[in-house]
Amino acid sequence: MQPDSTASSRRIARQILDLIYEARFDPGHHLREQHLADALGVSRTPVRAGLKELTRLGAVEARPNQGFFLLKRSDELELLEIEQSKSNDQMLYEMLVRDRIAGVLPESFTQTEISQRYDVDRGVLTRTLVKLSEDGLIARNAGHGWRFQQTLNSDVALRNSYGFRLMIEPSALLTPGLHIDRQVLKRLRAQHLRLITHPDITQVPAKEIFETDAAFHETLAQASGNLFVLQAIQQQNRLRRLLEFGSYHNKRRVREWCEEHVAILDALRDGKQAQAAERMRQHLQYAYDQVNIKRDGV
């Protein structure tokens, strides 16, 4: 299986799990491909791939000529970790940024130096440098090579990131053409409720918490119908993944922002765009203020 199809099947598998949690299916439940496809808004082919991934993990059983059946209880399913595959490009992207933040890499570098240091081929390196440049993290030197931008100063980057998001995310929710599918709203809500009601949130992997957070913001950006808003939030999430990935130590705050997200989703479900926008503003303002408190040592 190619990396892209593997990532897709794992993504669908996680979405199927969310539906199982929401519907409170018991072990032995027949997971019908067409029903799941209708709920997720996809064809049966990716659903089948997602079910096969869950079968590989022991959560689902494939019975010849009958279909797929749930094997595990909800509390057992919570222990499943569905890894997201990473391309060589993505792995190099993250290594370069993390090593720069850690001070391992100098501000200025050449492609040859990076190629030798990380033992990567020219194609992977070229694509990664282009992506870093598009995301505003590096720029070409006037003469030879590349240099990292100041955005990789974590405190400055986070402060600017939240300030930028405060400008666009609440406004995006006031877009006249805003549209989000109700099934998508339900799925996002289920993902958040899973974290809110988790018996021991300290055991939830930071990656799952981050993905829930990132998916929420990207989905609402996409709902605005403005491609530039979506691209901006996707870029911000790539930066946040590198700067904030390991920062979910305050589990109480995780529950709080999950509840804030749910309140925004509920306002959108009820057609209250202004209320959703104001709740989004308050949500981001809190995060912005916390970054400033950390900077000032308060």
Q: Which two tokens stand for residue 89?
A: 């490009």
Q: Residue 131 class from Cβ within 10 Å (0-12 exposed, 13-18 middle, 19+ buried)?
A: middle
pLDDT value for 75: 72
pLDDT value for 296: 43
pLDDT value for 165: 95
Domain boundary among 151, 172, 201: 151
Residues 123 and 222 in one domain: no
Specify if 264 maps to a domain: yes
Query: pTM for this structure?
Result: 0.59
Domain boundary among 151, 185, 204: 151
Residues 135 and 28 in one domain: no
Residues 279 and 174 in one domain: yes
Q: Report CA 135 to chain centroid distance, whole Å.
A: 17
pLDDT value for 297: 38
Residues 54 and 99 in one domain: no
Residues 110 and 126 in one domain: yes
Specify if 82 maps to a domain: no
Number of domains in the chain: 3
Specify if 106 maps to a domain: yes
Residues 47 and 174 in one domain: no
Tell me how far apart the 2 most distant CA atoms of the chain are, in Å.
65
Specify if 83 maps to a domain: no
Specify if 110 maps to a domain: yes
- Over residues 63-108, the pLDDT tens digits come to 998 999 999 887 777 667 666 555 678 788 888 988 887 788 998 9
Specify if 254 maps to a domain: yes
Specify if 37 maps to a domain: yes
Tokens 């010849």 appear where? 64
pLDDT value for 48: 92
What are the C-alpha distances in Å from 180 to residues 69, 112, 152, 173? 30, 46, 33, 11
Residues 70 and 29 in one domain: yes
Per-residue confidence in pLDDT tens, the chain, 298 aa? 334 456 677 778 888 887 887 777 889 999 999 999 888 888 889 899 999 989 988 889 999 989 999 998 877 776 676 665 556 787 888 889 888 877 889 989 999 899 888 888 888 899 999 988 887 788 999 878 999 887 665 667 778 889 999 999 999 999 998 998 888 899 899 989 988 988 877 777 777 888 899 999 999 999 999 999 999 999 888 778 766 654 555 667 888 999 999 999 999 999 999 999 999 999 999 988 887 765 543 3
Q: What CATH number has the domain bearing residue 99?
A: 1.10.10.10
pLDDT value for 232: 93
Tokens 């090579």 appear where? 145
Residues 278 and 186 in one domain: yes
Residues 49 and 66 in one domain: yes
Q: What CATH number has the domain bearing residue 211?
A: 1.20.120.530
Specify if 64 maps to a domain: yes
Domain containing 175 equals 154-296
pLDDT value for 63: 93
Residues 162 and 122 in one domain: no
Domain boundary among 56, 77, 98: 77
pLDDT value for 39: 84
Residues 23 and 125 in one domain: no
Whether residue 59 contacts residue 80, with contact meaning beta carbons closer than 8 Å, is answered with yes
Residues 266 and 165 in one domain: yes
Residue 51 makes CB contacts below 8 A (sequence gap 6+) with: 13, 16, 31, 33, 36, 60, 62, 68
